[in-house]
């Protein structure tokens, strides 16, 4: 599958494909109001409904070679930490390659998102997936902006309307 990193690992994490058996573990993301807001999801839906939408979209990406979020697992105990990956995105008519990341709330502020995002960028450049990577971030998501900066990205632009919200776009090039 194009743009996936199912055979990749970083210092503390190994990457693998998302499986339907991960569903119950992943619901915790959608039980967090801040995560739902930053992911621009409908807060009126239940965590289970939001998780279903997330999984359907992830499987659609896998099946249609649109990249994908890889499950991040701890090398120590194989616990699911989050997801990160390289995604083909349509940013209001412009096709971009995004490095996306979402960490389960209990693992926030432990450096996992930066570790995964940096790994995705380095491996994506190594495999020739793109010459430029982006991250699309909710303007109030200070944590994700810090991850983008840690990943060597710089602010590119604010998009006032993207899937119902404003977003900040960060990017990096192979020569950075």
pLDDT at residue 102, as a whole number: 94
Q: What is the pLDDT of residues 13-54, one digit of tens each?
A: 999 999 999 999 999 999 989 888 898 889 899 999 999 999
13-173 fold: Aminopeptidase (3.40.630)
Q: What is the pLDDT of residues 102-131, one digit of tens each?
A: 999 999 999 999 999 999 999 999 999 999
C-alpha–C-alpha distance, residues 140 and 146, integer Å:
11
Residue 69 has pLDDT above 80, yes or no: yes
C-alpha–C-alpha distance, residues 95 and 118, integer Å:
21
* Main-chain phi, psi angles of 76, to 5 degrees: -75, -50
pLDDT at residue 133, as a whole number: 97
C-alpha–C-alpha distance, residues 16 and 81, integer Å:
12
C-alpha–C-alpha distance, residues 46 and 64, integer Å:
27
Q: What is the pLDDT of residues 70-107, one digit of tens each?
A: 999 999 999 999 999 999 999 999 999 999 999 999 99
pLDDT at residue 175, as a whole number: 58
Give the number of C-alpha atoms closer than 13 A to the C-alpha of residue 68, restricted to the C-beta side: 24
The CA distances from residue 6 to 15, 38, 39, 117, 154, in Å, are 5, 26, 23, 14, 27
Closest CA to 116 of 147, 158, 78: 147
pLDDT at residue 176, as a whole number: 54
C-alpha–C-alpha distance, residues 12 and 83, integer Å:
14
Q: What is the pLDDT of residues 120-176, one digit of tens each?
A: 999 999 999 999 999 999 999 999 999 999 999 999 999 999 988 999 999 998 755
């Amino acid at each position: 599958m194009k743009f996936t990193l199912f055979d990749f690992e970083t210092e503390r994490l190994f990457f693998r494909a998302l499986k339907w058996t991960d569903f119950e573990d992943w619901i915790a993301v959608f039980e967090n109001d801040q995560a739902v807001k930053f992911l621009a999801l409908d807060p009126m839906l239940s965590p289970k409904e939001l998780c279903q939408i997330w999984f359907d979209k992830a499987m659609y990406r896998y099946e249609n070679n649109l990249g994908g979020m890889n499950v991040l697992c701890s090398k120590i105990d194989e616990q699911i930490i989050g997801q990160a990956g390289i995604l083909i995105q349509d940013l209001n008519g412009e096709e971009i390659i995004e490095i996306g990341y979402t960490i389960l709330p209990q693992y926030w502020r432990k450096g996992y998102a930066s570790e995964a995002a940096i790994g995705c960028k380095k491996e994506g450049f190594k495999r020739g997936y793109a010459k430029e990577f982006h991250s699309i971030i909710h303007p109030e998501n200070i944590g994700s902006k810090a991850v983008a900066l840690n990943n060597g990205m710089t602010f590119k632009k604010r998009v006032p309307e993207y899937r119902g919200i404003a977003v900040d776009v960060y990017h990096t090039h192979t020569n950075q």
